[in-house]
Amino acid sequence: MTNRFVIIDIETTGNSSKKGDRIIQIAAVIIENGQIVDQYNTFVNPCTTIPVFIEELTGINDEMVRDAPLFEEIADDLLKILDGSIFVAHNVLFDLSFLQEEFKRVGRSEFIGLTIDTVELSRVLFPSSDSFKLFDLTESFSIHHERPHQADSDAFVTAKLLLHCINYAKNLPLITLEQLSLLAVGLKSNIEVLFEKILRRKKKHIENLPEHLEVYRGIALRKKKKKHIQRNYREKYEYPITPDEKEKLMSSAIKKFEVRDGQFEMMDTVYESLRLKKAALIEAGTGVGKSLGYLLPSLYQSIRENKPILISTYTVQLQEQLLQNEVKKLEEMLPFDFKTVLLKGRQHYINLFLFEQTLHDVDTQYDEILSKMQILVWLTNTETGDIDEINLSSGGKLFWNRIKHDGWHLKDKDPWISRDFYLYARREAENADLVITNHAMMLIDFKQESSLFRTFDYVLIDEAHHFEKAARNFFGKKIEYIPCKYLCSKLGAFDKRQVFFRLEKLISSKKITPKTPSFELDFSIIELERCIEELFIGIADRLTLERKKRDNHQKTQLRLVNKWMDDEKWEQVIYCAKKIIETIIEINSSINERLSSLKQLSDKKLNEKDKAFVEECYSIMNEFYELQETIYMLLVQQSDDHVYWIEGDVKAIPNSITIQSQPISVKNQLGTEFFSKKKSVILTSATLTVNNSFSFFENELGLNHLENLVKKQISSPFHYKDMTQLIIPTDIPEILQVSPTEYTESIAGHLIGIAQATKGRMLVLFTSNEMLRQTHNLMKESGLLEDFILIAQGITAGSRTRLIKNFQKFEKAILLGTNSFWEGVDIPGEDLSCLVIVRLPFSPPEEPYIWAKSKALTEEGKNPFTAYSLPEAVIRFKQGFGRLIRRDTDKGIVIVFDRRIESTKYGKAFLKSIPKIPVKHASLKEIIEIVEKWF
């Protein structure tokens, strides 16, 4: 193998050479024998205008390339540099294919040789990275990147990244490298040559495995740390009662600690509520320091009674933040040791027995090969075995379904039981002081017979404004087309050679004769697939019909109502549902009979691969049983206290179809089955009150009956009057008095003017995907924002995190978002200077749950608008408002386009629920003057 790598990066006018796009800059970095020995860089004249977006992205303009050489003038030099080398690039497919097209265009021969993609290599070696984009990777490895998106800088840091990857691979255990080398043959670039070279060198020396690693059954693992806490000495430590005591404690671990009275007030409220075994509601405004405000007193209560405290959050981000930031600060500041454990649902943990067996498979599927390689590397680092630590591809997540933990059916025959991550996590949680979990996991575990969380007397629920929604999702049911089809394909008819085929081969080899013949079971499996297809096609017909009535909305939600039951087409849907249930019962019976026969065989007759396969079969049968139960509850035996609906995007039918239900109220389940069985439950969030009252939240969660409920509002320490002001435009029409098109045209015009005044740095919150899309199109088509980057949820590709990062990266950026952007978005500093709320965030009354909730409230003699719709919208509005000011140094303007905030009686509820700030009324021209003066 050659020791010479040439790292290439190109900047282009677009993505396709065939469509006329051209190179504007090309750079090469040459590595020989592990050292950078030379560099090459030149601008290239594309003989075409550089698009504005490319200029904004790269900083390369027409002037810079005007006198540069043409590609044909440098082609021979490039081929000479590449000769006899391994071609390396970050996303090698793009750079190489673009170059090959250019070589072909100018009549030169193409590059022939090996390639290495540093994206693919990084995916394998650093599976826990949040992102595999070049800038994000180099930043995480502290590789200085001077000018991202300029070829010379990108090529240089890609070379540094390659060297970093090689050095990291050299330190992997020999057994891991051998497995990676075998699997790498199935990757898209020639990474196997790297692993083979490292292996050859490594085999020349005797390997001394690092102390923190072990090899068990041919797989290298990180040893689990066992943190033993001596608890007897901790009893002498008393909770810091006075402000001086708290300040002394916290300043010992937090540099430049600033006293926040609200944080100390929260600590005392939490501690007294736990000590006196009371329930509490605490609304803590932005900047209070909520996390430490409840963690510190919780720990003192834990050591006082020697009992663990359960902390439940809604988002994974907050769980990680608590572990990585707040818990580490507490470890530094507290004079005693304590133990914190993060515990998730069983399906988050890897089943090592099943994974071990997959390593013997002959793989042809790319995502499966890549995922196995990622997991092998990850196992040398992880102490948790939690899938959330790995950044798997969508195909990799399907592979995870095969190897995730799903309980045991042959527990005594699992050779990995001593190293099982889920059992380890549960044992650790039983001996912890703080256990961090999420709302869904807490609810699921609470209903299980062997519940761990049921024994916890003290529970603190953060992000509590989501708890009712999490409970509705938990107590509801849902089936989706793609998971149903995937489940059927996992089992597969006999000729598909999947699980059923393998099961028949296994029982045949063991001379087992089942009661149900193979051909009958095969027929049932084919019949099940057919009925599931018919079920979803019948639902798709109903959705398509409804779409035509609803002015062609792509995503359609449709409540299931009784009048359909007499409809001939719907009768066919119900018939299919009943047929699916019958068929699953038949299949389950036949397969469970086969599995029972296999379980009775001795260890000599059933090898480890067979045992793992039996586990996999039981797991699949459990999934079918759950599907059977869910279809029965959704379509056959409906309950009056639930709402049922179907939804889907008519552009992606039947793939997008879901059928689901939710209870109309969860207050009885939560009030009687959960809250009343705890000694103390504390619920906290930045948004729990409406008009300074907790009554809406109390009622929705069934907290009304709790005696001595502590209620505390702790306001933000920020001086909002000096940091922000709210503007209500006077020249935008009343939203309900004009057509949606007219309203959208008006707000698009205002957004263009305001964006020019703020120079971007603007987040615009919508309540409708359709209005966002129309506004985005009008702003783009206006031609007035050519210098700006428009980023829109659902239009611009990428996750929410990716869209936010792009927004922060560009100076003149406008971010349009709906739903998930109303909360959890943290863009501090000057990156976000203007927040626009297009409409007050009322949920559409035709949404199935909102409709059912309103009907139930009406039947109780209540006004559904004031009892539910308004308070729900106010809490969401408070969340949206909270996106602007995140630090005490932030400054910005909030603009609310919806004039109902002042023109209606109920609008005052929105203004009363946010901090007191100046409110101004202005025309577009006046707004621009205010903005320019403000900044």
Same domain, 771 and 635: no
SS3 254: coil
284 annotated as a binding-site residue: yes
Q: Are 405 and 432 in contact (CB under 8 A)?
A: no
Record the tokens describing residue 778, joined without a space: 């009008």
pLDDT of residue 562: 64
Residue 348 lies in a domain: no
Average pLDDT over residues 575-589: 96
Structure confidence at residue 689 as a pLDDT band (50, 70, 90): very high
pLDDT in tens, 151-198: 999 999 999 999 999 999 999 999 999 999 999 999 999 999 999 999
- Dihedral (Cα; 469, 475, 481, 487), 10-degree rounding: 130
Longest dimension (CA), the chain: 87
Record the tokens describing residue 343, joined without a space: 């515990």
Same domain, 653 and 734: no
Alpha helices in 674-768 (DSSP H): 695-701, 720-723, 740-758
Percent of the chain at pLDDT > 90 equals 67
Average pLDDT over residues 336-353: 90
pLDDT in tens, 707-749: 889 999 999 999 999 999 999 999 999 888 899 899 999 999 9
Q: How far apart are CA 768 and CA 766, in angstroms?
A: 6
Same domain, 803 and 927: yes
Residue 127 lies in a domain: yes
Residue 546 lies in a domain: yes
Residue 335 lies in a domain: no
Residue 204 has pLDDT above 90, yes or no: no
Q: How far apart are CA 837 and CA 897, in angstroms?
A: 6
Q: What's the length of the chain?
A: 935
pLDDT in tens, 901-931: 999 999 999 999 999 999 999 999 999 999 8
In 619-666 the beta strands, taken as DSSP E runs, fall at 642-649, 658-663
Average pLDDT over residues 16-30: 92
Residue 548 has pLDDT above 70, yes or no: no
- The label of the residue with tokens 């626009």 reads 836
Residue 118: its H or E element: helix 118-125
Question: Residue 628 region, left (φ>0) first, then alpha (ψ -120 to 50), else beta?
Answer: alpha
Residue 761 lies in a domain: yes
- The label of the residue with tokens 């935008």 reads 732
52 annotated as a binding-site residue: no
Q: Are 293 and 260 in contact (CB under 8 A)?
A: no
Same domain, 826 and 760: yes
Q: Are 918 and 726 in contact (CB under 8 A)?
A: yes
Average pLDDT over residues 886-914: 92
The overall average pLDDT reported for the chain is 90
Q: Which residues are CB-contacts of 753 (< 8 A; sequence separation ≥ 6)?
A: 924, 927, 928
Same domain, 49 and 146: yes
pLDDT in tens, 281-308: 999 999 999 999 999 999 999 999 989 9
Same domain, 840 and 772: yes
Q: Of 127, 148, 174, which residue sits at a domain end?
A: 174
Residue 794: its H or E element: none
Same domain, 821 and 922: yes
285 annotated as a binding-site residue: yes
Q: How far apart are CA 303 and CA 274, in angstroms?
A: 12
pLDDT of residue 834: 94
Residue 681 lies in a domain: no
Structure confidence at residue 828 as a pLDDT band (50, 70, 90): confident
Task: Considering only residues 42 and 450, tell me which one the structure prediction assigns the higher pLDDT.
Answer: 42
Q: Of 108, 139, 174, which residue sits at a domain end?
A: 174
Task: Considering only residues 352 and 344, tell me which one the structure prediction assigns the higher pLDDT.
Answer: 352
818 annotated as a binding-site residue: no
Residue 275 has pLDDT above 90, yes or no: yes
Count of domains forming the chain: 3
Same domain, 793 and 924: yes
286 annotated as a binding-site residue: yes
Q: Of 663, 680, 709, which residue sits at a domain end?
A: 663
- The label of the residue with tokens 């001394």 reads 208
Same domain, 506 and 639: yes
Residue 585 lies in a domain: yes
Residue 578 lies in a domain: yes
Residue 853 has pLDDT above 80, yes or no: yes
Same domain, 908 and 784: yes
Q: Which of 73-82, 404-413, 755-764, 803-812 has the lowest mean pLDDT?
A: 404-413
Structure confidence at residue 88 as a pLDDT band (50, 70, 90): very high
Residue 869's CATH number: 3.40.50.300
- Amino acid identity, position 685: S
pTM above 0.75, yes or no: yes
pLDDT of residue 551: 56
Same domain, 747 and 634: no
Same domain, 890 and 747: yes
Residue 15's CATH number: 3.30.420.10
**What's the domain range around 523?**
498-663
